Amino acid sequence: MKNERASGILCHISSLPSPYGIGDLGPEAYRFADILSRARQKYWQVLPLNPTNGALAHSPYSSYSAFAFNLLFLSPDILFQDGLLSEKDKDQCCLPCDATVPFDDVYERKALLVERAFTAYKARWLKPRTFEDFCSAQKHWLDDHALFVVLKGRFNDRAWVDWPVEFRDRHPQSLKEAARQFGDGILREKFGQFLFYRQWMSLRAYCARQGIQLIGDIPIYVNYDSVDVWCAPEFFKLDEQRRQTFVAGVPPDYFSEEGQLWGNPVYDWDQLKKNGFKWWVDRLRHNLTCFDLVRIDHFRAFAQCWEIPASEPTAVKGAWCHVPGVDLFTVFQKEFPSLPVIAEDLGIITPDVDALKDGFGLPGMHVLLFAFHNEYKKSRDLPENSTPLSVVYTGTHDNNTVRGWYSHDMTPMEKKNMAEYLGRDVPPDEINWVMIELAFRSAAFLALIPLQDILGLGKEARMNTPSTASGNWKWRMLPEEFSPEAIDRLAVLTVQARRWQDLGRMS
């Protein structure tokens, strides 16, 4: 992997076009794989595929399960082909194909879709054995996940810590009785997860036949109100009532006087280590079943993490705490010898973080939108300062698009520095291609470009603005927006930058 120059596109499943209000794992996902192949791209990166919910604005980085899948991405077309939906069922899922995702409407329709597919499965589906095999293979997380979802509904969506104590503390007899009482709902939730897994693995196999590898994304922390913390409270810093004693965040810096208070529970690394880091090994193995390569978000917290007392209103009074990252990655390397991990090492990085990353041969990240600050010639994000063992992006899901940044966010100093660096001023309608070419010509073994930058879209296509609570994660590509001209231009740049080795296939 790391010895071959290549490139790819960052596009979340939700951003694909479809007639159902949100991108899914159906025909448009296969068409996108075809586009990637034609454009000579070898990687498709997505955001986390875990379940999302409206209370957290459907952020893919805030989920109630680190192992389960997002059923909003189920394809009605494939379910219809499988005989699990009628044409009327499928049509009732239809929503306008706009440039944003109407999450509430999609959520309502997809929940009904799973219900009807489950009813059809019980009545007539001919291959139940594959479902049984899935339940057996995924039992280590699936049983608890399905019970958690059903109990959340039973207790009016209250956080698990506020459930009756026999359920909060997982008394075996109470859980056994609940599993018996709510068996049909539990089975339905498992079936939805099976449908996703089946559709995803089919898409993954198709991508592999097209020469495309899939890159996933693992948020380092999990949510407090999650099946993960409910099932394994011993691996998190909680009190006797299972409430958080410390929460995660980052300290004050140039951008924020109060730091960032994320609120996620922090790990009890001593307990994880005593257990041989099994929870983390299971999590990484699960992701590597679904992806060829994974990016781990906030990698620096594997060296030190900023722990804030749960009673604090800001992140100011936190402290850096040591994390046994070397021990963890030594275990990872034994379990996964090629260690196909990208370390998200953005922000202020200390020598111990670099030592951990470099010691295990993990590629870090460079982002071109960060390259042209006041002392830009020293910037680690300039193309010539990238190393072969790194991944370069024009921007990430947390940044403005290149055109949005160029037109609205760049400081006068950054514009001056960029013009000096390039030796010319660049018109706004060309800046995205200039930045793509800079990324492609860098030394980094892998260049990844957000789809919005290839399409040349402005700030309206931004995926996420950190520290804002609404309006995020909604952008979608419109049908046919990825024009043949853009595909061909990307293919030519890819070959010219020697990120496509099979030149004989270039038409």
For the chain, the first-to-last Cα distance in angstroms comes to 25
Closest by alpha carbon to 477, among 446, 453, 447? 453
Give burial (CB, 10 Å; 0-12/13-18/19+) of 61. Answer: buried
The rounded distance, in Å, linking the Cα atoms of 375 and 379 is 7
453 with 402: CB under 8 angstroms?
yes
Q: Half-sphere exposure of residue 256, counting CA atoms within 13 Å on the CB side? A: 14
Nearest 5 degrees, angle CA 203-CA 432-CA 367?
75
Q: Which positions are annotated as active-site residues?
A: 297, 344, 398
Tell me if 305 sits within 8 A of 321, measured CB to CB: yes
Could you tell me the two tokens for 120?
Answer: 């059809």
Strand pairing of 246-250 and 213-218? Answer: unpaired
> Please, are residues 170 and 231 in contact by the beta-carbon 8 Å criterion?
yes
Q: What gap in Å lies between CA 63 and CA 49, rounded to an integer? A: 9
